[in-house]
Each structure stands twice: as C-alpha cells, then as structure tokens.
Structure 1
C-alpha cells in the first residue's frame, strides 16, 4: 500500500484538474514544504476565512465544516480572538515565572475531573502530552510495555508516532509497543469481555518476552480505529486488567474531550473509570497551540522528584488566556448539552437515511463525533466518493478506520439546526449518486 493510499481521503496528484492559481500554488508548496505533507480531497480545498461552522474560499463560497474539532467553539470565535490578542499585547512568557492566569485556569479546569486527578502539566500539542505521559508511566511503573489499538493515533513525536499504527508503514518501530484489535462495533457480542481479553493477551505476550507493562493508551472514542463509543462502560474491565498487571491507564482525550461526546465533558467518564493520566490538545485553544496532561499526584511524584520538566511555549501566558476563553465559552454557552441534543438529532437523521440505503451498514458515535460505516464491494472507494461528493456540495468531512470505510463527522460544537439541514440536504443528494 502506498503512503497516499494508507491515509484515508488523501489528495493524489493528477486525479483532479485544479485552477491555474491552485496548480501553481501546489507546485510551490511541493517545492518548499517537501514530500511528507499530505492534502485532503481529490480536489484540494483552499480556504481563506472562517466563521463559526463555515469556511470560505477565495471566491467567497461558504463550506460547511463538519470535520474540524480543533476550532471546537467555532472558527474565529470573537471572545477567543479578543482574549488571545489582549494577552499577547500585554505579556507572553513561560511557566518559570509566577503567573496568576496559569494557576487560575489549572484549578478551574481540574474541577471538571474526578478528585483523584488533581495536577496538570501544560504542553503545546497533544503529541507532546502523550509523549510526556509515556515518560511518566515508565518512571512510575519501571516498565516499558505499551498497549495501543491496531489503528490508533497518539501523535507525531518519535515516541508517540511509534504508538500510532495509523501512520502506516513509515511509523517508527518499537518492540515495546503491543497492538490489540479495536472494538468490534457489533451489538450482539460482549464488547467489554472481548476488549479485556485482548488486553490480557497483550500482557501475556509482554510477560513471555520479559517486558514489564507501563501503560494502556486509549483514545476513548477510538477516532482512528473507526469511532466506537458504545456500550458505555466497556473499557472498565480492560483498565482493571492493565492495573492488575502493574501498568497505568492513559485516556487520550485529544479528540473526544472538551464536551465532544455530549454526555460527558470527557470521554473516559462514559466508561465509569478514573484514568491515571488524561492527555488533551487540539480543541483546548480553538486552534492556538496549547495542550495538557492531567495526572494523579501519586503517578507524577517520582517523575517530578527525578526530572525537571520545562516547555518554552507550553502553558505560556497567551496560550493560557486563549484556553481560558475557550473553556469559559464551552460552559457559558452550554455546549455540552447542545452537543448532546444536536448530536442525537444528527444521528436520527442519518439513521432515517440509512434505513432505505444499501450503502450504510452502521452509524456510531456520541454527541458530535459520528462515524458512518459504508458497505459494498469496495467500501473504501465508496467512502472516498461520498467524502469528495460532499466536498463538491461544499460540505467538509473525512474518513476513518483501518480500511478507510467510515465517514468521520466531527464538526465544531456550535453546529446547529441550520447546519444540520444543510448537511443532510447535501448528503441525501450525494448518497443517491453512489
């Protein structure tokens, strides 16, 4: 499988006719940025402005953004922009000076977690947060074995990329990484028992090789594995299994966190477990690079005593001001409840369409994180046609899963009834053409 084929919804040069302007820009981009970057869509999208759930191209055409969870409170939310600019005009500096705003925000954010998770460390990205979690886990457990799902994505640092099989053949190799199957998605099976058994099988393989377990890393919505949210609580036996073996549980909330799943602020809460560490990123700053790792004090104690941690930009004053604004908006605008309500309406609309379709075989997810499983002789090709067909209708989504056969729908949390109507009109039209 080629590198482009390994990424669902990748632009493949030569498959689309671009405007002269975009063709020239693509050539300049390739020369300047090199070969490792990828673009979305058969015909790449060139936005120049964003507002709420809409992105605009150079001609002023509005595209419904049903994919970018990074701008979780909407593109260019005026309160976020104002907070960012105001702090940047006053002071931007690091965490080695006393600052009120980082402590105020830390206390406020931590109040949304179970009491056991009472300390936080700031980074720039979710990749850095997961990398830091791995370091802490190895110090705490004296182990090196890591369990991840077969198509997981946890970041792009050397350590995090090795824990990210979804990156394909080019991902770094690490003999201490043990991959297990993602949830099945089948309603007739005992998902909790199957997932626990797979974790225990990986633990047995570690023991046979003399490797001590360090942690189980789970993206609690299984974003890259194909989006699996149900049944509630199915992760709990697996968490018990890793802890019984002396390892830790790291909940990767970079994608499912910050009200994304609707029912709870954090994805792990749906499973009735309290993680040892929780990583977060992307939506925290609505696009500004700020991320964090929330930790149990007993887990961080040895690491903190042995190691000084510092990140020049992680948790800087402007990053914290921006994150504070995002966090305030999520709560003050009631986005958790709104996400739950519009998410239910969204899935109901999709389920109605699916009943009369031989293209859709399953609809999964929670809140505004929805996966639509596509079926047929070549589901990957069908999925690609749907994604690119929607793009022609000015609706942006992407694809997920190891086979690239799941529509990944993950709009900003300010997605509303008007946006849903726009989406379903375009979706109905594209589905009829498949």
Structure 2
C-alpha cells in the first residue's frame, strides 16, 4: 500500500514564511491566525489575496491577473452573470425548503437525469439534494450500508471524498491525522504509469476481489466501492478500465458509488459524466462543487431499489439542500453548459492542451508523464524518467514559480508530484499559450 501523504498541505503557507511577506499580507495572515481555526490552510508560501474573478481569470489586491488552472468550483467561469441573475431573481421571489412543493427541484432533476449516458435508464434513478459533496458522499455511504447490510468499504489510497465523519473515513488524502474507518480497505489506484501494468482493468479488478476476500475473511460484510472515475486525488488517471472492477463489486453484493464532484458536468469532454468513459452503471452518483458554480448545492442520484433500502425506513431532511435558490443556480449552470457548448469545448480545448503539454513534457527530462481527459490533465514530475522516481520537491517549487508567472494550480497523487491542471471550462487557446509558456519558463528556472 502506498504511503499516506498530506496532499492538502503540500504548498501551504507556514509561519516560517511570514517574514518574507509584505505588510498587508502579513496582517491578513495574522488576523486569520487570531480568529480562524488552525485546520484551515492557505495555498502558497506567499498567499494570494484575491479580490475579483471573471471567467478563467482572477485578480489580486495589487491588480495582478492570474490564470486559474485549478478551480472546478467556478466550473463555467468565475462570476458568470447567468448564475448571478438566476440566484438574484429567485432570492427576490422565494427561498424555502423541500417540505413545501416547488417546481424548480423537479424540473432540474428531470433535466439533469436526461444527461445520463444513453445506456442508462434515467427513470431508474431518484434524486436527493444537499449543500456539499461531503454530505452527498456521507449519505451515499449510509445508503450503501442500509442496502447491503454490510459495513465494509473500498477506496483508493489517495482518495478524497469529503469532510464529514463518514466521508472523511474514506478520504486518506486528508493526511495521517485523519483516521480511516475500521472497516475501510484502501487500494492502490489503477495507475498504469506507476504500476507499469499495460492492461490496468483486470489488474484493478483483481485488487478489488482480493480486498473483498480479505474483508470477508476478517468477518466484515462488503458494502461498496467509492471512487471518482478519473481518480483525481490519486494523480489524474483517465481511461476506460473500470468495467471488470465494478462487475466484481456487484458479484460480491456491493454497490458502486461514482463520486462525480470532480469529473462530472462535462469536464472530461467526451462525456457529461466521468463514469461514462468506463461504460459502467453506478448504483449511486454524487455531485457537488461545479453543480452550482460557487453556490453550495450537491446531489445524490441513486437507483430506486438501492435508495429504497434507506429512504423507506429513515427520514432524511436537509434544511438548505434543494432550496429554490440553489436549484436556480444549478439550473443556470446546466443551461450554460448546454447553451455555450462547454462539454464539446472541453473536449476540443482539452485535446489541444494535452497535445501542447505533452510536447512541452518531451523537452524537459523532469516530466515523466502527461495524461488527461478534456480539461482535466495530470502533469507528473520525476527525478529520473527510467526509474520514475517522483520529484515532490520540484513539484512544490514549480507551484511557486507558476504563481510568480500568474498561473494558479496545485498537486495530487500519492507522492504529491503531479500537477493537477483543471481550469474553468471557458479556457481558451490563448490560455494554453500562457500556461505552456509559464510551465516552460518555470521548469527552466528550476533546472
């Protein structure tokens, strides 16, 4: 099993960096220390003080413009007017909860389920709404246990699925301070580059079967497997390799929870939902961040018979989940994705970006692998291409160099050596040029 690294802290500001800060930034960091809990982290050794955003761009308090290469929250672009207008109009009319009748939640559910792949019957799914991906995954785990009568769960060694007690128990990316659940088995992600396995699907299915067998030999009944289909926190691992693993999950009586918070909503280009690349039918689909473009809204979409095991006996109510304002934001996001052709845009621009980043990688020995799907690209840094020894220090220093050149991103993977390049969907060819030039000059500066 891979070692658990604290990916969340990889490029965090720390107290020893304070002396190098300008007076205004130092005052803000000191105020944070005084009034906010210590668990909060700031990106970068010299934190960025952002004051404005538009599309894929951000501006700091000094007026410097940045290219956002990381933010899937503002998926359709920062400060999109369609979302602002929809939220404002609904706020001026009504905002309440799901114990009253309201059309918005029903209309949105019909339209979102219509985006499921052609091989999936949308009438087989029912929706429940929350505010965050953490809540959605928390509920999905509860439903999995209720439906199967089991408690055993499988996740990958660098997965991130949320911050609630249940969702954090399957989120080793939070670091060694976060306990993993007693009945949680962690597996290495299906990483063809690191494992050297050409046909990664059968290999991963074998790992799933072995974990289930080990679970049962320890007297733990299997409940399910949770994963995001591009294994974002495990280092960005696109492909079509999960079908046999999900067959193994179902053969053992478990359920598959597709965490679509990161790969969903058109980001991977070829498909609206990330799991569709694998040709599988999840038992539950969870969503979050990009769903409302900054407005807190999330969802659980579950096969009716799976959800019934829970909902027929346990009342569930979320005060803000599914409220008309959040639904207005979600509807606006869905409309923009369709009306502005952002899924196709992600496919075309993502292919162009992947080609450019791959070409750039070939000119730098420190780049071991470049991979991606749509506007979701992993850029892996190594000390030696032949041994594939990860270079975490270079990755962290590269983040700081990129920040100097106005490009914001972060890292992922078990070794913290993979740049996660995941810009808002309105990304352009000009932005590809900016990102490539910044990467090239940053790598040269660190050589």
Q: 1:388 aligns with which of 390, 396, 400?
A: 400
CA separation of 1:353/1:2 partners in 2, compared to 1, >3 Å: closer, same or farther?
A: closer
Partner of 1:431: 443
Q: 2:238 aligns with which of 210, 222, 229?
A: 229
Scaled by the length of structure 1, the TM-score of the pair is: 0.97
Count matched residues: 432
Matches within 5 A, 1:83-98: 83-98=86-101
Q: Contact (CA 8 Å) 2:4, 2:175: kept in 1 or not?
A: no
Question: Which digits, 9 at most, give the CA deviation of each residue in 1:46-91, with x for residues without a partner?
Answer: 1001000010111221111010010000000011100011111111
Q: Contact (CA 8 Å) 1:11, 1:39: kept in 2 or not?
A: yes
Q: Contact (CA 8 Å) 2:6, 2:176: kept in 1 or not?
A: no
Q: Contact (CA 8 Å) 2:4, 2:158: kept in 1 or not?
A: no
* 3-state secondary structure, aligned to 2:16: coil
Matches within 5 A, 1:134-213: 134-186=141-193, 189-213=198-222
| Structure-2 separation of matches of 1:367 and 1:2 | 28
- Tell me whether 1:415 sits opposite 2:398 in the alignment: no
Q: Contact (CA 8 Å) 1:4, 1:11: kept in 2 or not?
A: no
Partner of 2:252: 245
Question: Which digits, 9 at most, give the CA deviation of each residue in 1:9-51, with x for residues without a partner?
Answer: 2222223611101101101101100211111111111100100
| Structure-2 separation of matches of 1:389 and 1:59 | 18
- Tell me whether 1:342 sits opposite 2:349 in the alignment: yes
| Structure-1 separation of matches of 2:180 and 2:412 | 22
| Structure-2 separation of matches of 1:106 and 1:303 | 20
Q: 2:412 aligns with which of 375, 400, 412?
A: 400
- Tell me whether 1:293 sits opposite 2:304 in the alignment: no
Scaled by the length of structure 2, the TM-score of the pair is: 0.94
Question: Which digits, 9 at most, give the CA deviation of each residue in 1:227-260, with x for residues without a partner?
Answer: 1012x2x111110111111100000000000001
| Structure-1 separation of matches of 2:7 and 2:233 | 15
- Tell me whether 1:56 sits opposite 2:59 in the alignment: yes
Offset, 1:8 = 2.1
Q: 4+ residue stretches of structure 1 with deviation over 4 A?
A: 1-6
| Structure-1 separation of matches of 2:6 and 2:210 | 32
| Structure 1 residues without counterparts, runs of 5 or longer | none
Offset, 1:210 = 1.0
| Structure-2 separation of matches of 1:367 and 1:210 | 42
| Structure 2 residues without counterparts, runs of 5 or longer | 384-388
CA separation of 1:69/1:221 partners in 2, compared to 1, >3 Å: closer, same or farther?
A: same
| Structure-2 separation of matches of 1:267 and 1:67 | 18
Partner of 1:115: 121
